[in-house]
Amino acid sequence: MKIVVCAKQVPDTTEVKLDPKTNTLIRDGVPSIINPDDKAGIEAALQLKEKVGGTVTVVSMGPPQADAALREALAMGCDEAILVTDRAFGGADTWATSSTIAAALKKLDYDVIITGRQAIDGDTAQVGPQIAEHLGIPQVSYAEEIVEAEEGKLVVKRQFEDRYHIIEVKTPCLITALAELATPRYMTVHGIFDAYREKEVKVWTLEELKDTVDMANIGLKGSPTNVKQSFTKQAKGKGLYYKDLSPEDAVETIVAKLEERHII
Amino acid sequence: MDFTLSKEHLLFRQMVREFVENEIKPVMQEMDETEEFPREIWEKLGPAGLLGIQYPKKYGGQGGDYLAYVIAIEEISKYCASITSGIAAHSSLATWPIYQFGTEEQKMRFLPELLSGRAWGAMGLTEPGAGSDAAMQQTKAYLDGDHYVVNGRKCFITNAGEAKYYTTVVMTDKTKGNKGMSILVIPADAPGFTIGKHEKKMGIRASATADLIFDNCIVPKENLIGREGDGFKMIMQTLDVGRLGVGAIGLGIAEGAIEETLKYVSQRKQFGKTIGSFQNTQFELADMKTRADSAQLIIYRAACTKDAGLPFGMYACMGKYYGATVGSDITRRCVQLFGGYGYMREYHVERMMRDAKIVEIYEGTSEVQKMVIAGHMKVGK
């Protein structure tokens, strides 16, 4: 089974702090990581490979430094890594991103494509499903478990708001992974050394994708949406603090306050 | 001269940190309390590759280097020196003599198990009457047909009772002194081999320490490493290699204590401000950080020198000596900054101070390191 995983390098948002004066994110010195849902996708791909055989190729679109995320994926056990990078791809929204990644995927042979559900720096959850649409293949989003895998089909447990769907899907297909899909393994020590000393990260620029890419749909110019303004929500009032109340009095006080404001 | 870590070493450090965060941090305090050898963690060290970092893949190792090995020991020691004491005994003392002096057949027989962590190793050198004076070995072995018969007792042996293979120093010819020593790999199930009672220690309480007792113990002669009589030479070289890791234990403990203290001094308030805002605290921590970084540079240089295939013995001694020194010195000063809280077991620095002391003692006391360094310097010669 040929498995391709799409992974994004993102700033570790758990390490991002707010500048108390300007209320903006301090990104300096924030480590970059593989997006957690994507990392679960890598793990799921490796488990799938261990179960049914095959290869795992990891693809990332991003600036040259995304090389580090791909080396990490190689160190976890992925067979091949491809970095899709070109200044022409920069400034992309989800549409231009998915168009570019789909153009890269068209050059690969695949049975299953796994993407993370969403990235922690954007939270759109759009790129995975859009890739499937560009490629014209079926998709299962919000995958929590790959229940069965065999030649030609997968059975996937899909998380829904109030229920699960068990979906049988023909390959080639795309699934978007929730973090729950798989707990990422540790990189192995030899994997780390091999990732830098023996394996390579292939670099695909616009030149490599020229037969498959649609120039109107890439980069900033190919992005129908753009972020007009980004700001941190203002903190609301200070809140009220009642001290030394018995549980009964506390309940009564809180309920009275909520009623006063017509919240209940 | 380049003082930056390569990308692979940085990624490796990240991997070790993830392992420590998930597997060791949650239980480190409890391990100290219960004094139990953490088998569940050890069972994960092998599959993660952490028991064969610096050995070739051919024998089941990871194809890394000594710099990576000391980084791993340093990172894990920030939180748990019990585990790294065991790793050092396993990876350097037990395994290296087999790798360096063993025949191809012996390497293929022992190393894949040891380096993958399917078996753990220990080394039997110290005896009740042979500590710093390692040449005073009393454990004897004689060849009887196709096996050796071993009699004697080793003490303070790390990983005792947990290891499957014991790389043990024995006297095969007492009349020849240093030149009568040999090394045997003794399996845990060898007839006549028993483990003494578990020692209760001041620190590194979750490492297993006990006596090895050999009573007409039968060891196949195929388990002799190198030649009879070369034991002392082999063991001295083994200790040189072992020191690379042991220095990193002291360093790691010191760095862990500084990390804990930095958190504490920015929260703890006295006289209306955080104690971190007092100049004494700042000077103390600045001094500690400078010393810890100095130790790190010495230890990394020793490891890189070894990786480059150059003579590293003196550097390893300096790293072991200074790593041990900063470990004890810095943990004691961190406890002082914590005040009364630092004396309580609830705070990690209390454990760290106890753990750090052993680094000045095991695998050659600080005094022995100074003897060896002075020897390299040819002081008085």
CA separation for the pair B364, B370 (Å, rounded): 10
Q: CB-based contacts of B271: which residues, under 8 Å, 6+ apart? A: none
Cis peptide before A172 (omega within 30 of 0): yes
Give the separation between CA B28 and CA B79, rounded to whole angstroms.
Answer: 7
- Inter-chain residue contact B11 with A194, CB threshold 8 Å: no
Question: Cα–Cα distances in Å, from B244 out to B20, B42, B226, B252?
Answer: 21, 21, 23, 13
Q: Examine the pLDDT at A25 and tell me if it is beyond 70.
A: no
Asked if A189 and B18 come within 8 Å (Cβ–Cβ), the reply is no
Cα B178 from Cα B166, distance rounded (Å)? 20
- Report pLDDT for A75: 96
Cα(A44)–Cα(B85) distance, rounded to whole angstroms?
Answer: 35
Half-sphere CA count of B311, side-chain side, radius 13 A: 2
Structural domains in chain B? 7-116 (1.10.540.10), 121-230 (2.40.110.10), 233-377 (1.20.140.10)
**Closest residue of chain B to A195, computed from CA coordinates:** B8
**Where do the structural domains in chain A lie, given as residue ranges?**
2-217
Chunked in runs of 10, what are the mean pLDDT values of chain B (381 residues)?
92 96 94 95 95 97 97 98 98 97 98 97 95 90 97 97 98 93 98 97 97 98 97 95 97 98 97 97 98 98 97 98 98 98 95 98 96 96 87
**How far is residue B381's CA from residue B370's CA, in Å, rounded to a whole number?**
16
Out of A72, A186, A189, the one facing B62 most closely (by C-beta) is A189
A175 membership: H or E segment, kind and range: strand A173-177
Q: Do A38 and A6 meet the contact criterion of CB atoms below 8 Å apart? A: yes
Main-chain dihedrals φ then ψ at residue B97, nearest 5 degrees: -60, -35
Size (chain A), residues: 264
ipTM of the complex: 0.87
H or E stretch covering A228? none
User: Mean per-residue pLDDT for A127-137?
Assistant: 97
State the nearest Cα–Cα gap between A193 and chain B, in angstroms.
6
CA B123, B129, B134, B140 dihedral sign is negative
Chain B residues in contact with chain A using a Cβ-Cβ cutoff of 8 Å: 6-8, 11-12, 14-15, 18-19, 48-50, 52-53, 57, 61-64, 68
Task: Give this prediction's pTM.
Answer: 0.89
Quote the pLDDT of residue B290: 98
Q: What is the pLDDT of residue A66?
A: 95
Among residues A112, A113, A110, A105, which one has the least CA distance to residue A149? A112
3 state SS of A158:
strand
How far is residue B136 from each of residues B49, B144, B150, B178, measured CA to CA in Å?
37, 24, 16, 8
Q: Which DSSP category does A208 fall into?
A: T
Provide Rg for chain B, Cα atoms: 21
Query: pLDDT (tens digit, 9 = 90+) per residue, A79-122?
Result: 999 999 999 999 899 999 999 999 999 999 999 999 999 998 88
Residue whose entry in the numeric block shows the structure tokens 């220095």? B247
First to last CA, chain B: 32
Interface test with B, best of A186, A199, A201 (most B CBs within 10 A): A186
Which of A188, A192, A198 best tests the B interface by mutation, with the highest count of B CBs <10 A? A192
pLDDT score, position A22: 66
For A3, the 3-state DSSP assignment is: strand
Interface A-B, measured as beta-carbon pairs within 8 A, has a size of 53
Tens-place pLDDT, residues A34-86: 999 999 999 999 999 999 999 999 999 999 999 999 999 999 999 999 999 99
Residue B269 β-bridge partners: B274
Residues of A in contact with B50 (CB under 8 A): 189
Domain A2-217, CATH: 3.40.50.620
The per-residue pLDDT for A23 is 62
3-class secondary structure, B130: strand
Contact A193 B62 (CB under 8 A): yes
How does DSSP classify residue B350?
H
Residue of B6, B7, B12 with shortest CB distance to A189: B12
With H, G, I as helix, E, B as strand and everything else as coil, classify residue B95: coil
Distance of CA B373 to the CA centre of its chain: 19
Alpha carbon A223 to its chain's center: 19
- pLDDT tens sequence across A200-224: 999 999 999 999 999 999 999 999 9
Distance CA(A65)–CA(B256), nearest Å, equals 30
